[in-house]
Structure 1
């Protein structure tokens, strides 16, 4: 069995129509736009951890850029002729943006989870800092959603690998 058998299966998948690709990109931008709006609307509403609204704004902008940049002309490889030199620049920007997003995500985790269950009530008589409930819970659940989605992708990937192995499409040596 060839070591490229699973990759041949992936290469045979037809390219979806442009309308579908555009619809997926629009859907992928909904949460980042909501993050930008929520962070901007509540910029001063979390004295307990003032970086949480900033985190939401920056991660929303970075994710929107990543969604837009991944749709540049490099998605389709030319059948004949030299490859587009713009693709290397695009790949570099995508890589830098991905590294930044991972780093920023780690920082956001520290800012959000370190104050878990903050004081949600702005009380003039109390000196205890607060964090707006809507802002905090939005940041908490959008960050937790990333862990849920990654876990689902890992589980799905393992199921696909087991299925490929059980159906004889892959050998254990293919992944070493």
Structure 2
């Protein structure tokens, strides 16, 4: 399991480096939507920076720099999330562009296809995670109901209770 995550992580690093280099190399070669190469550069840089910060702040501890790094990482994740939606609005409306240089709807083929593939892959992964989370929540609720546990405790229950008595603890009041 851990080795699979390491391999996927390394592949994602390589894809983000390729996104930065393709976006920078072909910055002016997508007249149909000139923001697509910029999208690739910013997406790649923000992902690499957030991954780097995530790896480093976990090893620091609970001091002030670690807390600041964690807050910056959260803000960077929020920015990347918003940037992803902005990029989606640039990529999908021009599908499919013309890959012949000099035409009005031209965009460099590899640059556009990488942007399209990354965006689609992230949408598919997000959808799968959402579906799996919903299934897990549904199965957990069904398991709780089938085993006889209450999802919402009654007013006499508390953490660490050892009986299901409906009378208040402590006898007569």
TM range (shorter): 0.7 to 0.9
Q: Which residue of 1 aligns with 2:75?
A: 96
TM-score by structure 2 length?
Answer: 0.73
Q: Check whether the contact 1:25–1:67 (CA below 8 A) recurs between aligned residues.
A: no
2:167 is the alignment partner of 1:167: no
Q: Which moved more, 1:68-77 or 1:110-119?
A: 68-77
1:46 to 30, 36, 48: 30
2:5 is the alignment partner of 1:29: no
Q: Which residue of 2 aligns with 1:137?
A: 113
Q: Where in structure 2 are there 5+ consecutive unaligned residues?
A: 154-173
Q: Which residue of 2 aligns with 1:121?
A: 100
Change (3 A) 1:92 1:28: same
Q: Determine the C-alpha separation between the residues in 2 that align with 1:22 and 1:97.
A: 22
Q: Which has the higher contact order (CA 8 A, sep 6+)?
A: 1
Q: Where in structure 1 are there 5+ consecutive unaligned residues?
A: 1-15, 78-82
Q: Which residue of 2 aligns with 1:66?
A: 50
Q: Which has the larger radius of gyration?
A: 2
Calculate the aligned-residue CA RMSD, in Å: 2.8
Q: How many residues are aligned here? A: 150
Change (3 A) 1:135 1:162: same
TM-score by structure 1 length?
Answer: 0.72
Q: Determine the C-alpha separation between the residues in 1 that align with 2:63 and 2:111.
A: 43
